[in-house]
Structure 1
């Protein structure tokens, strides 16, 4: 059954399967699509079904947004570290040039899909406790999953749009008051996010999880990220929240120290995009895909446009800028061919070496889909997309703890673990200000092309100048893509359709 809010989004009880290569029980679930709530939440198994349907919504991230574009590309387009090789998609090109308006397809799809996931989570949170014969432990666990997902969706929304409608109950009919909601404040949205994550943290989830659902480590890592963001713009909660972020990240780091076979950095960068290592060690939480069942269609957007070097599609609409590539330190292993980037591949995926005219992103490269020497690619990508890596947790800790009282042995250790993997020397002897910017630089380089850089820019109100390896204020900064940023760019305009249909959303964000 479909639950529709005509002015915000289409809120669906999808019941779709949340499928992973490593969790066969997901693949055996019956599809409960189009089943009404009155006849659905009747047996304990339905709790897992609605939660798995909510996890499935995360795949909107890689869904198409017009020709040669996908939703996830919006974040990298804003970062100044990427450009496109095609001109066919005006919506995507307008993001790169910051000429976007509320009519941009990417904006409307992010808004709609985030509220769709929130709608599913709200339904799960309300209905799971009413299911007959469900145990208290299972009720707590599945509601915990739903609250983690609601928090994640709202975390995206509040950073992109600021004040947004704060919906915490399902919408069942056009007569519901929440069909035309007012915008909640940024502070209220963050209060809900934190409350949801604290509930999820207390839900009894295992610290690590191989099946693709959230683990205790995923909850703690996301909460650390939320606290770090709250410490910066626009809430500016400062030292108290930097301390909260550091403490929560340290819980994950300490678990990894005690159990390095469960949470750790990968030794080899290749394991970041190895199907066999999904949901393991460094991969704390990811969007789940399975080749031939739920293909990871984001693959083609990182590959050079129309070269036929692989067995899968090639679009070339998220391409590293030359200036960003030149900003990596000399000797950085991430710049070695086929580590984070590549400048040649094999004709057809498994033939002779095929040189490219520039470097492209390799950190998301699916070798099974694209082919390797001696083995043809399948053409179907099933590689997960990372949302939380242990590398980010280390950098959250290093940044936050430094803000509490300057660099310490532990903060140096956290950032140097990442630098050492890149064959770079240890940081040492830095002032608090020097260490701060050193960690920011590591975030820009280690976490590039993972949809993180833009959010760093707006929480810090800073922009990395790759030509000088320095940071400048956001407003007035000129990106390597020749865009000069304005105050209004810190938030997106509200999607035009919703803005026109719901007078309670007005006024629009400043400058739009």
Structure 2
């Protein structure tokens, strides 16, 4: 599935002024200019809605999974798209259109957040200050901008920091050089500190459909924990601080007793969820499940994408992890040949199964942005790196015992690093976490080069030729052509 590519800066203003319906049922600002659009509290809410609607773009529906799970050892490409096969093969070229689609969509979301952050302080409407709402809107927009920049910096490293609305097509304004990776992380932290400075509430009331749809202190602390863990000069004391802020939040996050309930489609906005994309059907639906689920569920017979790998299945089996395996993978006879599972048509093939309902391209199945188990495992990782391995085991075992795996009572720090990596893999499969984890642990090169995946057509192992340059994606060639101030990442032509 393709969407129309857009230029990130030349079109940034017009895109930033578009908003869609949301939980407030506001009319969108669709025929507005930067000088007359933002006069009232409802204008501010509509503009903020447009920022949240960016989570329903193609990148956040499934390309984030492609560039985390398919690029890694978790899944094969499946399907028939050469550009996704290139991701699977770690042979990604700057002209791969998925790069430009993702780059454009993420920067479009940032552009919308920039407009909110600039225009909302200028609105002269007493209604916007009722209940501290103006500050909340600014906090939400700052969080969202930070989240989108976190996607960019983990995918590409240093990228241009665009922090104000673009109001001109003048090259002096639209052509910006890359900021350093450190500068991007610094801006992310600055935005999150701004949001956490009494601008975001723990909750917006008793409606979980609102609290899990909007940025809260829990969401900001969750992102801050991930940022401090992922940045090159990581700070595990800060990871622990912000993870604990999530775990002890007055919002009352807690692990669901049954892991399977997280993904059964009947427990949206549950207690473990910190933030999730609100697919409600109709025009606000998730098309992703139709691309992944087997014929018995999807109702069609063309080859599906994001096929679980033999290495992933082996990891579930070696751990004895039946609960998470059955919630994540569904084996079914496939009416096509698969080069890794069965060259015979109608052979047994595993399907990615975290989503359960396709509903003819209009699924309500959700994608978690943050959930508590992820943060507990980050806390465990931080405790181990801070020399508190026994405490780290306590946190790790909270995740293991929920899925009927035995508690682990002792480990050296080095052993624990492997334990938590394995646990995160099985807990967070198909949640766009694996590639960042492998990069954070310094294991991506070794894991991919030691991976044994046999192509049944040749009976030869797949060769990835992984090296350090492939830890980052190439800057899209379309952007380099448009903006001569951009330089390409090392290792790409």
Distance in 2, Cα, partners of 1:272 & 1:296: 17
Counterparts of 1:398-437 in structure 2 under 5 Å? 398-409=380-391, 411-437=392-418
1:488 matched residue in structure 2 = 469
- Unaligned 5+ segments in structure 2 are 334-345, 454-461
Q: CA deviation at 1:290?
A: 1.4
Residues 302 and 334 of structure 1: is their aligned pair in 2 closer, same or farther, counting only changes over 3 Å? Answer: farther
What are the superposed Cα offsets for residues 164-183 of structure 1, whole Å, 9 maximum, x if unpaired? 10111110011263300011
For 2:328, the equivalent position in structure 1 comes to 340
Change (3 A) 1:335 1:225: closer
- Cα distance per residue 1:106-143 (max 9 Å; x no partner): 11111111111111111110110000123182221001
Secondary structure of the residue that 1:405 maps to in structure 2?
coil
Task: Quote how far apart the aligned CAs of 1:198 are.
Answer: 1.1
Residues 207-257 of structure 1: CA deviation (Å, up to 9, x unaligned): 245321112111111110001112xxxx234xxx101001110111123xx
SS at match of 1:184: coil
Change (3 A) 1:48 1:486: same
| Secondary structure class of the residue paired with 1:503 | coil
Residue pair 2:73, 2:448 contacting (<8 A) in 1 also:
no
Q: Which residue of 2 aligns with 1:349?
A: none
Change (3 A) 1:242 1:330: closer
Give the C-alpha shift of residue 388 in structure 1: 0.9
Alpha-carbon distance in 2 for matches of 1:15, 1:501 = 24
Task: Tell me how far 1:359 sits from its aligned partner.
Answer: 2.2
Q: 1:321 aligns with which of 285, 305, 309?
A: 309
User: Structure 1 regions of 5+ residues with no counterpart?
Assistant: 346-354, 371-377, 464-471
Deviation (angstroms), 1:265 = 1.3
- Asked whether 1:80 is paired with 2:103, we answer no
Residue aligned with 1:188, SS: helix
Q: Give 1:99's aligned residue.
A: 91
**1:26-66 CA-partner distances (Å, limit 9, x unpaired):** xx2112113112221001111111111011012124589xx
What is the Cα deviation at residue 478 of structure 1?
4.3
1:146 corresponds to 2:146: no
Residue 267, structure 1, aligned to residue 257, structure 2:
yes
Q: CA deviation at 1:8?
A: 4.9
Partner of 1:499: 480
Q: Deviations over 1:387-433 (max 9, x none)?
A: 21111000010001110113133x22221111011110111111111
- Secondary structure at the aligned position of 2:331 is classed as strand
Tell me the distance in 2 between the aligned counterparts of 1:312 and 1:217: 40
- Quote the Cα distance in structure 2 between the aligned partners of 1:436 and 1:343: 31
Alignment of 1:284-433 (within 5 A): 284-304=274-294, 307-311=295-299, 315-328=303-316, 329-335=318-324, 337=326, 339-344=327-332, 357-366=348-357, 369-370=358-359, 380-409=362-391, 411-433=392-414
Contact 2:79 2:305 in 1 (8 A): yes
Instruction: Give 1:461's match in structure 2, choosing from 438, 442, 446.
Output: 442
* 1:249-294 superposed Cα distances (whole Å, 9 cap, x missing partner): 0111123xx77xx411122233222444222211111222111131
Computed over aligned residues only, the root mean square deviation of the Cα atoms, in angstroms, reads 2.7
Q: For residue 458 of structure 2, what is the aligned residue in structure 1?
A: none
Structure 1 counterpart of 2:426: 445
- Aligned partner of 1:466 in structure 2 is none
Asked if the contact 1:406–1:431 (Cα under 8 Å) also holds between the matched residues in 2, the reply is no
TM superposition shift of 1:17: 2.2
**Residue pair 2:64, 2:432 contacting (<8 A) in 1 also:** no
Q: Equivalents in 2 of 1:17, 1:312: separation in Å?
A: 31
**In structure 2, distance between residues paired with 1:358 and 1:408:** 40
Relative to structure 1, is the Cα distance of residues 177 and 280 closer, same or farther in structure 2, using a 3 angstrom cutoff? Answer: farther
Corresponding position: 1:199 with 2:180: no
Q: Please say if residues 285 and 361 of structure 2, whose CA atoms lie closer than 8 Å, have aligned partners that are also in contact.
A: no
Mapped partners of 1:48, 1:314: distance in 2: 41
User: 1:117 matched to which residue of 2?
Assistant: 109
CA 1:428–1:297: 2 relative to 1, 3 Å: same
Taking structure 2 as the reference length, what is the TM-score of the superposition?
A: 0.86
Q: Secondary structure in 1 aligned to 2:176?
A: coil
Residue in 2 that maps onto 1:374: none
Q: Shift in Å at residue 314 of structure 1?
A: 6.2
Provide closer, same or farther for how the CA distance between residues 330 and 441 of structure 1 changes in structure 2, counting only shifts above 3 A: closer
Aligned twin of 2:217: 216
Shift of residue 203, structure 1, vs aligned partner: 3.9
- Structure 2 equivalent of residue 183 of structure 1: 178
Q: Structure 1 residues 309 and 356, CA, compared in 2 at 3 Å: closer, same or farther?
A: farther
Match of 2:341 in 1: none
User: Deviation of residue 5 (structure 1)?
Assistant: 9.0
Contact map agreement 2:291 2:304 (CA 8 A) in 1:
yes
The answer for the alignment partner of 1:163 in structure 2 is 158
